[in-house]
């Protein structure tokens, strides 16, 4: 007699053969064994994928997709397994939409926890279950006949119990070219799952056709039931669960209302029966048994009292329901009941004394039963309301978690624009969460904290701890800085003084500027490593390491007061004049700059709020809002910075250099930072420091990869 060897727990037994030509055929086997208690509760996550005619980049993209789905599945320990599985596949689908992979992909992703198998698929992977049937064995194809609900990478979730004694195969479909269902049955009969996988491994190793094969065989203990309990679940919105609850509550209310009607009709029939019995009875009232006599002689009085009592009960109950339904009035419930009861207590007492004892007992029983049923309905309604609110809360929290997972997926696939948009959306959703109790408020705070962690990661904040270099005299009010090797030059827009320090503060010199200079609008270093300063009147001073200052002669066009910045590159002075919407160029000969040349070809391309100029061969113009324009050979290019979060509040300075591979912008707003962008405009990092309180200027040493910051009167530096 054929039989499987029983195992107490599931075990994944793998077989894998590499065809040595990944561009033709490649198989991925991914198994995540749970480690922590929470992960063990979620079971084993595994995936089998066959890729045909897929590039190496495509294979890596699919590997990253599977890893991301696994991370999301195990990531939130508060979610039940089915919700976590559905969430991970939603996020996976969003990420899979960005796959630009040519070729065929056949994939099966699944989780197995205590016999519950949940799987999803793409393409046509092999998903078989071998089960005993009438002293024989049959193969059940799990995905055969299932039509995807929508055009997504993973459209359906198939869920069911893997019966004890059943054996499952999840494999690349290329295996079907070698082994059919009958052969699979023969291989597994009289073999354990481990032995069957080992047999397949050895058998397939002998086939040298260049294709890759792989898969998993696993089982539970024997139970001769056909695996027909698998169900297909299409992705639903959280609102479906709330509709189900509302229908259940309505059915419960109808059931109780029906039962109450039947009970009252039964009492009415009994009383009517007594009356008809008396009408057809020849005896006098004194001959009738006491219970019948009581009903007969007091029926009219009982009817009137019952109607009045019922009305009082209904009024009181109505007030109670309204009070219980309104959280603000719930505390006044007992006063409402007391007031309603006192209003009719005296009349009821007087009427009751006129009715025989047994009739009063009968009436008391009816009233008590009515109250019990009404209170039951009320409790069910209140409980249903509370459950509905709780489910609504959970649905909203689940939506927030899903959106948060989408942010993570967008960050992984470098779609930062989408991630930033989702970040704003999720932040608003968390703020709007209707937390009703301490637990929900704690959960909302936890969600907000995790979102801010994502926000900082998306913002690419990099905290730094700068080292002190030297202090500048406070009376100088320095707000300009340049670095050339181990020489630092500082100046002020308000003072005609230049401070030079060599060896990073070891030797400091303070020099007065040539007569008539009021202050300096910019200081810098040319490509030859010489430091210079451009005054607010357009005069240029060259500073030597020994402190010698040499003025370079500039023509009148360079001394226009509307010029806001200037820079020297390749022995040429470039001046920025946003009021005249122009950039002028002056060529240097010896110590004299020649006549002005109009460098900008289209004045309309110059922004009116330009405030700063930098160059690496191309010219970069910083606007007041932090935008940067790039100009090349006198014409504006399509260069633009990527979005930054938070947006710039007070951008003060733009820096780059011919040897630097980045642009740097200092922001002296509420968040003191220096943002680094690559030359394509993509955000690289945002440097921040708890010690920065007044960013006035900064300079970049591209050769040493260090940034020097003028924080108040302190010059500090850090590496990047």
pLDDT digits (tens, 9 = 90+) for 377-435: 877 877 777 777 888 888 889 889 888 888 888 887 778 888 888 988 999 999 989 88
Say whether pLDDT at 651 is over 70.
yes
Are 548 and 591 in contact, with CB atoms under 8 Å apart? no
Is residue 685 a part of any domain in this protein?
A: yes
| Nearest-10 crossing angle of helices 438-459, 357-412 | 10
Domain identity same for 177 and 260:
no
Say whether pLDDT at 552 is over 60.
yes
The C-alpha atoms of residue 154 and residue 122 are separated, in whole angstroms, by 6
Domain identity same for 257 and 197:
no
Are 351 and 360 in contact, with CB atoms under 8 Å apart? no
Would you place residue 235 in the very low, low, confident or very high pLDDT band (cuts 50, 70, 90)?
A: very low
- Count the domains in the chain: 3
Is residue 409 a part of any domain in this protein?
A: no
Q: What percent of the chain has pLDDT over 70?
A: 78
Domain identity same for 218 and 285:
no
DSSP summary character for residue 55: -
**Residue finishing a domain among 235, 265, 300:** 235
Pull the structure tokens for residue 105: 């992909």
The C-alpha atoms of residue 253 and residue 91 are separated, in whole angstroms, by 39
Are 472 and 505 in contact, with CB atoms under 8 Å apart? no
Is residue 449 a part of any domain in this protein?
A: no
pLDDT score for 319: 58
Instruction: Indicate the pairing of strand 683-688 with strand 461-463.
Output: parallel
Domain identity same for 54 and 152:
yes
pLDDT score for 541: 95
CA distances from 435 to 78, 392, 444 (A): 17, 11, 7
Domain identity same for 83 and 106:
yes
Are 87 and 405 in contact, with CB atoms under 8 Å apart? yes
Domain identity same for 222 and 255:
no
Q: Mean of the pLDDT values across residues 521-534?
A: 90
We report the CATH number of the domain holding residue 705 as 2.120.10.30
Min mean pLDDT across 236-240, 435-439, 511-515, 638-642 is at 236-240
The C-alpha atoms of residue 636 and residue 415 are separated, in whole angstroms, by 27
Is residue 150 a part of any domain in this protein?
A: yes
The C-alpha atoms of residue 362 and residue 13 are separated, in whole angstroms, by 72
Say whether pLDDT at 285 is over 60.
no
Pull the structure tokens for residue 89: 């596949």
Best mean pLDDT range from 15-19, 141-145, 599-603: 599-603
The C-alpha atoms of residue 217 and residue 196 are separated, in whole angstroms, by 8
Is residue 3 a part of any domain in this protein?
A: no
Is residue 282 a part of any domain in this protein?
A: yes
Q: Mean of the pLDDT values across residues 62-72?
A: 91
pLDDT score for 335: 54
DSSP summary character for residue 283: S
Is residue 432 a part of any domain in this protein?
A: no
The C-alpha atoms of residue 204 and residue 17 are separated, in whole angstroms, by 7
Return the residue matching tokens 């198994």: 31
Say whether pLDDT at 241 is over 80.
no
Say whether pLDDT at 267 is over 60.
no
Q: ∠ CA 14-19-22 to the nearest 5 degrees?
A: 105
We report the CATH number of the domain holding residue 47 as 3.60.40.10
The C-alpha atoms of residue 658 and residue 529 are separated, in whole angstroms, by 11
Q: ∠ CA 149-153-158 to the nearest 5 degrees?
A: 55
Q: Mean of the pLDDT values across residues 332-349?
A: 52
pLDDT score for 95: 86
Domain identity same for 642 and 526:
yes
* DSSP three-state, residue 257: helix
- What count of other Cβ atoms lies within 10 Å of the Cβ of residue 521? 20
> Which residue(s) pair with 592 in the sheet?
553, 589
The C-alpha atoms of residue 289 and residue 277 are separated, in whole angstroms, by 12
Would you place residue 101 in the very low, low, confident or very high pLDDT band (cuts 50, 70, 90)?
A: confident
* DSSP three-state, residue 596: coil
pLDDT score for 290: 37
Are 257 and 376 in contact, with CB atoms under 8 Å apart? no
pTM summary value: 0.48
The C-alpha atoms of residue 36 and residue 43 are separated, in whole angstroms, by 11
Domain identity same for 267 and 351:
yes
Higher pLDDT, 328 or 86: 86
Chain-centre distance for alpha carbon 232: 27
The C-alpha atoms of residue 569 and residue 658 are separated, in whole angstroms, by 9
Q: What percent of the chain has pLDDT over 90?
A: 41
Domain identity same for 216 and 331:
no
pLDDT score for 76: 81
Q: CB neighbours of 667 closer than 8 A, spacing ≥ 6?
A: 626, 648, 649, 650, 651, 652, 673, 674, 675, 695
**Residue finishing a domain among 181, 202, 235:** 235
Say whether pLDDT at 251 is over 60.
no
Domain identity same for 162 and 245:
no
In 460-558, which residue ranges form alpha helices assigned H by DSSP?
A: none
Would you place residue 245 in the very low, low, confident or very high pLDDT band (cuts 50, 70, 90)?
A: very low
**Residue finishing a domain among 235, 264, 299:** 235
Q: Mean of the pLDDT values across residues 554-565?
A: 92
Please choose, from the candidates 91, 188, 198, 175, the residue with its C-alpha nearest in 3D space to the C-alpha of residue 132: 188
Return the residue matching tokens 């005054």: 535
The C-alpha atoms of residue 689 and residue 670 are separated, in whole angstroms, by 12
Tell me the residue range of the domain where 487 lies: 467-719
Domain identity same for 258 and 304:
yes
- The size of the chain, in residues, is 720
Radius of gyration of the chain (CA): 41
Chain-centre distance for alpha carbon 516: 60
DSSP summary character for residue 695: E
pLDDT score for 257: 43
Is residue 436 a part of any domain in this protein?
A: no
Say whether pLDDT at 479 is over 60.
yes
Higher pLDDT, 247 or 435: 435
Domain identity same for 121 and 220:
yes
């Amino acid at each position: 007699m054929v039989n499987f060897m029983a195992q107490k727990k599931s075990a994944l037994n793998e077989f894998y053969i590499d065809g040595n030509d990944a561009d033709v055929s490649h198989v991925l086997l991914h198994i995540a064994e749970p480690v922590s208690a929470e992960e063990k509760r979620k079971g084993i996550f595994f995936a089998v994928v066959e890729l045909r005619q897929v590039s190496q980049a495509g294979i890596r993209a699919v590997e990253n997709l599977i890893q991301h789905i696994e991370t999301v599945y195990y990531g939130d320990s508060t979610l039940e397994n089915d919700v976590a599985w559905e969430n991970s596949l939603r996020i996976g689908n969003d990420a899979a939409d960005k796959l630009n992979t040519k070729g065929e992909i056949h994939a099966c992703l699944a989780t197995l926890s205590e016999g519950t198998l949940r799987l999803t698929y793409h393409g046509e992977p092999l998903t078989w279950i071998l089960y005993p049937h009438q002293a024989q064995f049959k193969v059940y194809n799990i995905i055969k006949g299932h039509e995807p609900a929508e055009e997504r990478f993973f459209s359906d979730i198939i869920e069911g119990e893997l019966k004890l004694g059943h054996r499952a195969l999840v494999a690349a479909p290329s295996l079907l070219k070698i082994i059919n269902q009958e052969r699979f049955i023969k291989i597994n009969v009289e073999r354990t799952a481990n032995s069957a996988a080992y047999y397949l491994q050895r058998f397939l190793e002998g086939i040298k056709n260049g294709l890759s094969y792989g898969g998993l065989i696993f089982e539970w203990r024997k139970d001769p039931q056909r695996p027909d309990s698998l169900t297909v679940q299409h992705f639903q919105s959280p609102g479906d669960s709330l509709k189900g609850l509302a229908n259940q509550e309505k059915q419960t209310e109808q059931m109780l209302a029906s039962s109450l009607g039947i009970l009252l009709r039964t009492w009415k029939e009994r009383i009517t029966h007594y009356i008809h019995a008396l009408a057809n009875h020849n005896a006098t009232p004194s001959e009738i048994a006491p219970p019948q006599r009581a009903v007969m002689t007091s029926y009219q009085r009982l009817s009137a009292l019952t109607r009045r009592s019922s009305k009082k009960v209904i009024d009181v109950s109505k007030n109670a329901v309204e009070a219980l339904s309104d959280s603000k009035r719930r505390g006044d419930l007992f006063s409402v009941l007391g007031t309603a009861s006192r209003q009719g207590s005296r009349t009821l007492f007087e009427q009751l004394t006129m009715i025989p004892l047994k009739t009063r007992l009968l009436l008391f029983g009816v009233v008590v039963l009515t109250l019990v049923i009404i209170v039951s309905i009320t409790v069910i309604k209140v409980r249903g309301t509370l459950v509905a609110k709780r489910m609504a809360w959970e649905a909203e929290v689940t939506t927030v978690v899903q959106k948060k997972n989408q942010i993570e997926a967008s960050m992984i696939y470098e779609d930062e624009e989408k991630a930033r948009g989702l970040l704003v959306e999720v932040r608003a959703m968390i703020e709007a969460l209707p937390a009703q109790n301490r637990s929900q408020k704690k959960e909302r705070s936890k969600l907000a904290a995790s979102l801010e962690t994502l926000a900082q990661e998306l913002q690419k904040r990099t905290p730094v701890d700068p080292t002190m270099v030297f202090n500048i005299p406070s009376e100088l009010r320095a707000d300009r800085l340049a670095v050339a090797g181990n020489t630092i030059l500082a100046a002020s827009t308000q003072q005609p003084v230049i401070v030079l320090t060599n060896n990073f503060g070891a030797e400091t010199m303070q020099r007065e500027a040539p007569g008539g200079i009021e202050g300096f609008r910019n200081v810098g270093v040319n490509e030859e490593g010489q430091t210079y300063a451009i005054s607010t009147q357009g005069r240029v001073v060259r500073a030597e390491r020994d402190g010698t200052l040499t003025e370079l002669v500039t023509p009148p066009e360079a001394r226009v007061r509307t010029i806001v910045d200037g820079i020297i590159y390749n022995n040429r002075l470039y001046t920025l004049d946003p009021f005249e919407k122009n950039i002028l160029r002056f060529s240097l000969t010896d110590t004299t700059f020649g006549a002005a040349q109009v460098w900008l070809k289209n004045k309309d391309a110059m922004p009116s709020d330009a405030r700063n100029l930098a160059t690496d061969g191309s010219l970069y113009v910083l606007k007041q809002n932090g935008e940067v324009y790039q100009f090349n050979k006198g014409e504006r290019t399509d260069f633009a910075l990527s979005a930054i979060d938070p947006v710039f509040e007070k951008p003060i300075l733009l820096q780059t250099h011919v040897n630097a591979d980045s642009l740097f912008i200092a922001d002296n707003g509420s968040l003191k930072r220096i943002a680094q962008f690559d030359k394509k405009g993509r955000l690289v990092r945002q440097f921040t420091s708890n010690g920065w309180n007044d960013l006035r200027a900064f300079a970049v040493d591209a050769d040493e990869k260090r940034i020097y910051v003028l924080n108040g009167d302190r010059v500090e530096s850090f590496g990047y």
